[in-house]
Amino acid sequence: MLMLGIETSCDETAAAVVENGRRIRSNILFTQEKIHGKFGGVVPELASRQHTAVISEVVRLALDKADVRPRDLSGVAVTQGPGLVGALLVGISFAKAFAYRQNIPLFGVHHLGGHLAAIRLEYPEIEWPAIGLVVSGGHTSFYFMAGSKQFVLIGRTIDDAAGEAFDKGAKMLGLPYPGGPEIDRAARGGGVAPVSFPRHRAKGDSLDVSFSGLKTSLRYYLERSGFDPVRDASDVPPLAAAYQQAIVDVLVDRMTTAADRHKVRSVLLTGGVAANSALRSRMDKVCRDRGWALLVPSPILCTDNGAMIAAGAFLKEAVSPTEALKMSPGAVPRLEDG
Ligand code: KG4
Ligand code: ZN
């Protein structure tokens, strides 16, 4: 069974072919990082336009690399949401037309469900139950997963995503976009600034997180101290380390509470921020101490990609080719769960 997966929810135009929900035959990515870099964040209008410009080529490359003809495909899967509506619509419109034209079923896939499904591509044997944590530029969501087909949202950010907190913090420190890898690198430069950045405490039993207070706190600190990114370049590494530590503390604290509460056997960590070295080593330690298996896919499967959407399709109901053009709902920018 060969599934074409298409992902256009944010700033990556991605397509992949996955065989039997397990084997990646191709995974093609066109990243728009350079286009949005000069604006310091994703510009939705530009993202949609760029997806439109390259989607046919990205799909063609995915089919060529997999050595698959459109008529060999068993289905086409596309991200339905959450994401930027204009960006989602490009992938969805393409996938609808493709399914109709090739007479193959269409699958609408939840973006975060796709992130979690991608983990099975590299870890076929997962010990359930598990906590799934998706940490990216657009999302910070905790899921309880009783098995591969069920994921229940149990906590999330109430404001900025963790990646956004990294990106905005980096910008204030004069580091380029995307800021996460920059902060990660700078933080290894030596020392931790003695600044008491706030760690958001959830109310009651909530597993929600928040990063906007942290971001504001960095801004006030820099304003108060008259920080200048050029003159005070030597202050950047210790400040980056302190800021990063605050983000990591919050994520690790909430993940540990969630995993304890649900008595899980595994922790699945994915999304662009999963690349963060401090987060990785702290998660590693906690999971080892508590006997939880920590599963983190390789970078290409952590960030947005088409293979995760193809993998997610195997958990969803098909829309027949004749119904494909009417698939309802179409793009759902705030799609809530799987
Ligand atoms: O999953 P992703 O590629 O795209 C979406 O947001 O959908 O995640 C990108 C985010 C950006 O905010 C980027 O700064 C962050 O992941 N990121 C990192 C690291 N690498 C990427 N954040 C912290 N440390 C990193 N090493
Ligand atoms: Zn994503």
Half-sphere exposure at residue 245, Cβ-oriented, CA atoms within 13 angstroms:
16
> Ligand 1 pocket, 81 CB below 6 A?
no
> Ligand 1 pocket, 50 CB below 6 A?
no
Half-sphere exposure at residue 181, Cβ-oriented, CA atoms within 13 angstroms:
7
> Looking at ligand 1, which residue's alpha carbon is closest to its atom 6?
137
Does residue 85 contact residue 333 with C-beta atoms inside 8 Å?
yes
Q: How far apart are CA 6 and CA 231, in angstroms?
A: 45
Tokens 């065989």 belong to residue: 19
Ligand 2 centre distance from Cα of residue 73 (Å): 25
Rounded to 5 degrees, φ, ψ at 188 are -85, 0
> Ligand 1 pocket, 163 CB below 6 A?
yes
> Looking at ligand 1, which residue's alpha carbon is closest to its atom 2?
272
Residue 26: beta bridge partners?
17
* Local confidence pLDDT in tens for the 338 residues of the chain: 999 999 999 999 999 999 999 999 999 999 998 888 888 788 999 999 999 999 999 999 999 999 999 999 999 999 999 999 999 999 999 999 999 999 999 999 999 999 999 999 999 899 999 999 999 999 999 999 999 888 899 999 999 999 999 999 999 999 998 899 999 999 999 899 999 999 998 888 999 999 999 999 999 999 999 999 999 999 999 999 999 999 999 999 999 999 999 999 999 999 999 999 999 999 999 999 999 999 999 999 999 999 999 999 987 788 888 888 888 768 888 887 65
Two tokens at 37?
């870099």
* pTM for the predicted model, two decimal places: 0.93
- If one residue of 166, 168, 211, 281 were mutated to test the ligand 1 pocket, choosing by the most ligand atoms within 8 A of its CB, it would be 166
Does residue 117 contact residue 107 with C-beta atoms inside 8 Å?
no
Q: How far apart are CA 31 and CA 50, in angstroms?
A: 10
